[in-house]
């Protein structure tokens, strides 16, 4: 079982990671107004669509490249937010599958882990 000090330490790490992820996401895209947990790619700064179809295609290609990175960052942010919710609920550090404690080595490597090593996906 984790101590309050350990939980507080993981909470601080998770909150810092959440801020970093939100910053990285905002550099690549913007939040979908109808679903604030969804991020959509935005045009690169200074780029505008115009009459040149090749230039427009380059802009769209850059946006598609950003889409992949956005998806990875969104998934990590979801995991971090869920870990912070588990801290609030008092279930942090407990495997979602077996209700056994998550190994400290696993939490140190990934503070957002929701399962023990036995039940890793």
Tens of pLDDT, residue by residue over 7-26, are 999 999 999 999 999 999 88
Q: Which residues pair with 30 in a beta bridge?
A: 40
Tens of pLDDT, residue by residue over 31-81, are 777 766 766 666 555 566 566 666 656 655 666 666 678 889 999 999 999
Task: Return the CATH number of the domain spanning residue range 4-119.
Answer: 1.20.120.910
């Amino acid at each position: 079982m984790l101590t309050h000090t350990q939980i507080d330490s993981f909470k601080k790490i998770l909150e810092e990671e959440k801020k970093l992820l939100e910053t990285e996401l905002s550099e690549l895209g913007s939040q979908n107004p109808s679903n604030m947990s969804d991020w959509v790619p935005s045009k690169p700064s200074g780029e505008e669509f115009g009459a040149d179809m090749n230039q427009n295609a380059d802009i769209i290609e850059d946006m598609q490249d950003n889409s992949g990175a956005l998806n990875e960052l969104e998934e990590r942010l979801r995991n971090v937010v869920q870990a912070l919710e588990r801290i609030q609920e008092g279930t942090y550090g407990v495997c979602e599958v077996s209700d056994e404690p998550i190994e400290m080595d696993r939490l140190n490597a990934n503070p957002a882990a929701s399962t023990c090593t036995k039940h890793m996906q």
